[in-house]
Structure 1
Amino acid sequence: MLDLGCGGGRHAFEVYRRGSDVVAFDQNENDLADVATMFAAMRAEGEAPHDASAETVKGDALDMPFEDASFDRVIAAEIFEHIPHDTAAMAELYRVLKPGGIAAVTVPSWLPERICWALSEEYHTNEGGHIRIYTRAELEAKLKATGFEIGPHHHAHALHSPYWWIKCAVGTGDDDHPLVRAYHRLLVWDILKAPKATRVTERLLNPLIGKSVVVYLRKPTGAGNTE
């Protein structure tokens, strides 16, 4: 399983915990060092099955150092909105996925992202920031043109959208603002406790203001690779 653009590694940690052989891939050396440390800690504490493996690899999403058809599964969470040549990165994802393999791609949802852009120019002009806002139709069209079969989709993380709206309104770098700190504490509490009330609320709100849209893809069986 490839976690493409792994960042802090939360998806990689979970699939490792579930027994996958996982490769956490990113171009940020500091993030990868932290991820490698966590992999080692999980291994030492027995938090992953003994026959599962986990490693980090540094590289460019436009030219990944993997053979064709290397992975059964790929997660690409919140990366394509950062990449100028997004279709080239999609082609690389297609190349390294095995025929019949499944990928999960997420990008920021159109409406919550549009609100963030309207509230803050800094949000989308910082170096390495978001350079485009996808509609689901646009994302799926680009992935289909790459060669993927488009599967189901859903929205997620509705409770995170107001947090980013607040940050954009008060300044994206002002993590000490009282409203930002209070809402962050709420999110941490929700993640740790997962109370039924907030879980139900988020499920109801996800189709409307879910921060992310998740699209599932399959590389056709017997497919070749894009050029």
Structure 2
Amino acid sequence: MLTVDFDKLGVQPGQRVLDLGCGAGRHAFELYRLGADVTAFDHDVEELDNVAAMFAAMKTEDEVPANAQAQTVVGDALALPFPDEHFDVVIASEIMEHIPEDEKAMAELVRVVKPGGRVVVTVPRDWPERICWALSDEYHQVEGGHVRIYSAAELIGKLSDAGLRFAFQHHAHALHSPYWWIKCAVGTDNDDHPLVKAYHSFLVWDMMQAPWISRTAERLLNPVAGKSLAVYLGKPRVRS
């Protein structure tokens, strides 16, 4: 399930791409398939071990172009272990809402992207997220949980202040918003609740089969109820 639209992002084979806060690697794997030189970065060593194993399996199964490269790096988003202006593209998907010092993380992100490079940041959309917070404290009041809710204006403003230029935005995963509302209503750990199980089965069916009716419904609903906000920006080129 991809939040970033790679057609819009325009990643090219051989470009250096940082997946900042890669988690289980969903975007990193797609970048690898596209032939990018991917760095999957996270603070969770166990997650990165799983991502590295998948990278190796993809290479073995010839799922990636011959020249594509992929690596995992563990570290802190507030002190990225990379040189200035190192990456052509940086993706930060569903990570900023977890970081108390988000402006510091944004500054680091901007530091490591090249002038003329592209950045995409995704976060939970504000109004679906507010419903989750209203229904459940345990949804966000956990270690490593969400520490803020961004409006689009706030997120774009902070990223602009950090040195990026806004290009466009879109919303994604409208069909997932009701799932999380149900989870928050019945208990976030209550995976055996009939409504949770039924809706989860529907989402799995949708992801595996990609039927036209649900794909069309989500595309139409995303502008209204998409659970994620994706913001695309560029780093201005240095003027001579």
Shorter chain as normaliser: what TM range? over 0.9
Which whole-Å CA distance do the structure 1 matches of 2:207 and 2:34 have between them? 19
Partner of 1:111: 127
- Asked whether 1:153 is paired with 2:176, we answer no
* One-letter amino acid of the counterpart of residue 59, structure 1: G
* One-letter amino acid of the counterpart of residue 184, structure 2: C
**Of 21, 31, 56, the match for 2:37:** 21
| Deviation at residue 214 of structure 1 after TM alignment | 0.4
Partner of 1:3: 19
TM-score normalised by structure 1 residue count: 0.97
Instruction: For residue 124 of structure 1, give the secondary structure of its aligned residue in structure 2.
Output: coil
Q: Structure 2 stretches of 5 or more lacking a match?
A: 1-16
| Deviation at residue 178 of structure 1 after TM alignment | 1.6
State the percentage of identical aligned residues.
64
Describe how 1:1-227 pairs up with structure 2 within 5 A.
1-222=17-238
* One-letter amino acid of the counterpart of residue 81, structure 2: P
Instruction: After the TM superposition, list the runs of 4 or more consecutive aligned residues in structure 1 that deviate by more than 3 angstroms.
Output: none
Instruction: For residue 51 of structure 1, give the secondary structure of its aligned residue in structure 2.
Output: coil
* One-letter amino acid of the counterpart of residue 193, structure 1: Q
Instruction: For residue 121 of structure 1, give the secondary structure of its aligned residue in structure 2.
Output: coil
Q: Structure 1 stretches of 5 or more lacking a match?
A: none
How many residue pairs were aligned?
223
* One-letter amino acid of the counterpart of residue 58, structure 1: V
| Deviation at residue 222 of structure 1 after TM alignment | 1.1
Deviations 1:50-74 (A, max 9, x none): 1000000000000010000110001
Instruction: For residue 73 of structure 1, give the secondary structure of its aligned residue in structure 2.
Output: strand
Which whole-Å CA distance do the structure 2 matches of 1:176 and 1:41 have between them? 32
* One-letter amino acid of the counterpart of residue 16, structure 1: Y
* One-letter amino acid of the counterpart of residue 185, structure 2: A
Which whole-Å CA distance do the structure 1 matches of 2:205 and 2:110 have between them? 38
The two structures, once aligned, show a CA RMSD in angstroms of 0.8
